[in-house]
């Protein structure tokens, strides 16, 4: 493995979320974006790049960063559209998640890193699929934690990622609750509303009754999500198909749409094929075959009127899609392992860090020499 270090901008970031002792926050300006990046461990260590999910930031990785073995250098940026990332830098959804993937590669280049272990959660896992296709030779291992389906999020009906409608209606910028976004804009950190960030995290992100020790900081990180028609939720267009909205062209939610997701089949063609560790909680309500964020699920349960039925718009089989893609990945020369952590929701690295590290650390160590 080759990695060369370069000088970094050590300016303190403006994001007002405290960091744990041992976590260093720096503002880094690459050729693509200025953002806050969290670091742990020695700069001479083996790099591990962590990409956070939607409605969060690098803050969510701090305990994982601190628990890395001392030979590793943990690196976690606030991705475009979130946290202390430059608010003037928008996500062009017509490129899928290429903006976020390009940002990650630009960060590695700025730091002089040729290869790094790659870790993604949820939306960050969706970015990791892009990075595998775009630059597989730079990632000795990939760890996917409750990743979005390689076919994108919303509006597909089977394990092959067949769209429910030709215009991908039911995915994109209208998937996020308007009330949740209103309360984020209002800075609501209470439990007073059903859709406040704190309430949603307790009911949807974690498996009840778990409450993280740093809940206040995680909620604050969510409150720093960038909002607007070119951020969250992004824009949308009218559709003649249920639920009568289709993806627009701006923001992370549109970028996650199957309309722009790229071809999952490209994963079968990459060489070398990094070994993939897929970790998920057994009670994940966000990424599942009956996701509470999927309009197919909401329609089937009567929460959105006019649902056209399971034949036209079923809940997206997210887990089945990911498993089918990874099985084909294995059949074309790759390797993967699926690990399900019991009694856990969407973020097992927060809800059950010891069990997460029990499988994560050996994955890093076992595969370290793969590309050296």
pLDDT digits (tens, 9 = 90+) for 185-226: 999 999 999 999 999 999 999 999 999 999 999 999 999 999
In a domain, 202, yes or no: yes
User: CA angle at residue 144 from 270 to 22, to 5 degrees?
Assistant: 120
H-run or E-run covering 99:
helix 98-110
Phi, psi of 261, rounded to the nearest 5 degrees: -70, -10
Which domain does 139 fall in, by range?
24-371
Closest CA to 60 of 110, 113, 121: 121
Q: How many domains does the chain have?
A: 1
Contact (Cβ atoms closer than 8 angstroms) between residue 117 and residue 74 = no
In a domain, 33, yes or no: yes
Whether 1 shows a pLDDT value over 60: the answer reads no
In a domain, 28, yes or no: yes
Rounded-to-integer distance, Cα 364 and Cα 167, Å: 40
In a domain, 134, yes or no: yes
Rounded-to-integer distance, Cα 142 and Cα 146, Å: 13
Closest CA to 205 of 121, 301, 304: 121
In a domain, 183, yes or no: yes
In a domain, 302, yes or no: yes
Phi, psi of 61, rounded to the nearest 5 degrees: -95, -5
In a domain, 17, yes or no: no
Whether 88 shows a pLDDT value over 90: the answer reads yes
pLDDT of residue 242: 97
What are the CA-CA distances from residue 137 to residues 52, 183, 203, 271, 274 (Å)?
22, 42, 39, 7, 8
pLDDT of residue 174: 82
pLDDT of residue 369: 55
Whether 7 shows a pLDDT value over 50: the answer reads no
pLDDT of residue 15: 56
**pLDDT, tens digit, for every residue of 42-69?**
999 999 999 999 999 999 999 999 999 9
* DSSP category for residue 202: I
Percent of the chain with pLDDT over 70: 94
Whether 12 shows a pLDDT value over 50: the answer reads no
CATH number at residue 32: 3.40.50.1820
In a domain, 306, yes or no: yes
Q: What is the average pLDDT across 343-362? A: 98
Whether 13 shows a pLDDT value over 60: the answer reads no
Predicted model pTM:
0.95
**pLDDT, tens digit, for every residue of 142-181?**
999 999 999 999 999 999 999 999 999 999 988 889 999 9
């Amino acid at each position: 493995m080759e990695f060369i270090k370069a000088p970094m901008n050590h300016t303190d970031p403006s994001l007002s979320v405290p960091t744990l002792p041992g976590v260093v926050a720096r503002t880094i300006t690459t050729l693509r974006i200025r953002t806050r990046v969290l670091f742990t461990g020695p700069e001479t260590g083996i790099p591990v790049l962590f990409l956070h999910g939607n409605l969060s930031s690098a803050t969510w990785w701090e305990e994982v960063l601190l628990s890395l073995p001392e030979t590793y250098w943990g690196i976690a940026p606030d991705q475009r559209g979130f946290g202390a990332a430059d608010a003037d830098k928008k996500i062009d959804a017509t490129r899928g998640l290429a903006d976020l993937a390009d940002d990650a590669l630009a960060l590695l280049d700025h730091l002089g890193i040729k290869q790094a272990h790659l870790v993604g959660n949820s939306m960050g896992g969706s970015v990791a699929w892009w990075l595998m296709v775009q630059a597989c030779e730079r990632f000795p291992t990939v760890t996917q934690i409750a990743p979005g389906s390689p076919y994108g999020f919303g509006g597909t009906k089977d394990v092959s990622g067949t769209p429910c409608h030709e215009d991908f209606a039911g995915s994109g910028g209208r998937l996020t609750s308007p009330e949740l976004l209103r309360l984020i804009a209002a800075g609501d950190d209470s439990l007073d509303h059903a859709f406040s960030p704190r309430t949603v995290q307790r009911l949807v992100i974690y498996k009840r009754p778990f409450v993280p020790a740093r809940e206040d900081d995680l909620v604050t990180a969510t409150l720093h999500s960038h909002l607007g028609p070119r951020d969250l939720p992004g824009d949308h267009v009218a559709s003649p198909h249920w639920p009568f909205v289709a993806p627009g062209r701006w923001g992370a939610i549109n970028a996650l749409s199957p309309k722009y997701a790229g071809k999952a089949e490209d994963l079968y063609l990459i060489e070398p094929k990094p070994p993939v560790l897929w970790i998920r909680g057994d009670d994940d309500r966000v990424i599942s075959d009956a996701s509470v964020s999927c309009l197919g699920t909401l329609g089937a349960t009567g929460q959105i009127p006019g649902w056209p039925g399971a034949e036209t718009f079923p809940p997206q089989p997210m887990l089945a899609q990911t498993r089918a893609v990874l099985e084909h990945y294995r059949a074309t020369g790759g390797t993967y392992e699926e690990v399900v952590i019991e009694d856990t929701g969407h973020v097992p690295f927060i809800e059950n860090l010891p069990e997460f590290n029990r499988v994560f650390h050996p994955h890093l160590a076992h595969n370290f020499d793969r590309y050296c």
